[in-house]
Structure 1
């Protein structure tokens, strides 16, 4: 009970100091009980795996749709392949936001994250032009290459998290 009293009055360091065996600090300085830490880690891991899966699925679906377009097979535009990537990308974005919130990651501090966010916007713009039917074939190929390069850089930053 002591931990709840102290955390309510914003004294997590005192609560943790008094009960080091049952409390731990989070990256944002909050104090959690051991079971809350375990639940938080399970949630983070589940969300991270969801994010990684959705990211791989997103680039796979993009390459599939771009390949079908380049081969002049536009029938996919009348199938669920037209809307499934949007659902997947919503899951991807939701998981990304949850990871940033849970991990207390600030793009102003973690510069790799700021670059990753900028690359995501670039990937979306390149993907838009790559799949736009009224765009010339040459522009579409350039956009596809740009989107894939940006996706590769996003994956690199996500895996390595370099200090920039």
Structure 2
């Protein structure tokens, strides 16, 4: 698979992952039964798996790796924060207020990851 095709797949999965998270966060806030649909529980894992595989493939092809490139290390740390906050927002938070706070933090982490990817700077807002 070519680098350009992999990059397009990766960017598409980034958009789908973020939009899917926002949709599930909205459903959680509204206490919608849509969260219990099978596709709502399976599709995010498929998209995120493709996202991770395309990221690993891009790193391999380009020879750019986390811990060797500061901006990729920043993206990895942001990803871990996004995952942790997202889990608290959608599953583990005890109250709606806690879930919504973690949802906001997850959205901020997502924005940071995208900003780092676009600027290749660890502090893209400075």
* TM-score of the superposed pair, with normalisation by structure 2: 0.91
CA offsets per residue over residues 101-160 of structure 1, 9 Å max, x none? Answer: 001003233101101001101101111011116621111011100000000000001111
Structure 1 residue runs without a partner (length 5+) = 1-41
2:6 match: 47
2:90 match: 131
Cα RMSD, aligned residues only: 1.6
- Which of 57, 68, 79 is the matching residue for 2:38? 79
2:119 match: 160
- Which of 65, 87, 91 is the matching residue for 1:106? 65
1:27 match: none
1:29 match: none
Q: Displacement of 1:75 after TM fit?
A: 3.3
1:94 match: 53
d(CA) in 2 for partners of 1:109, 1:91: 23
More relative contact order, 1 or 2 (CA 8 Å, 6+ apart): 2
d(CA) in 2 for partners of 1:97, 1:64: 26
Q: Which has the larger radius of gyration?
A: 1
1:144 match: 103
* TM-score of the superposed pair, with normalisation by structure 1: 0.71
Q: 1:88 to 1:163 in 2, by over 3 A?
A: closer
Number of residue pairs matched by the alignment: 123
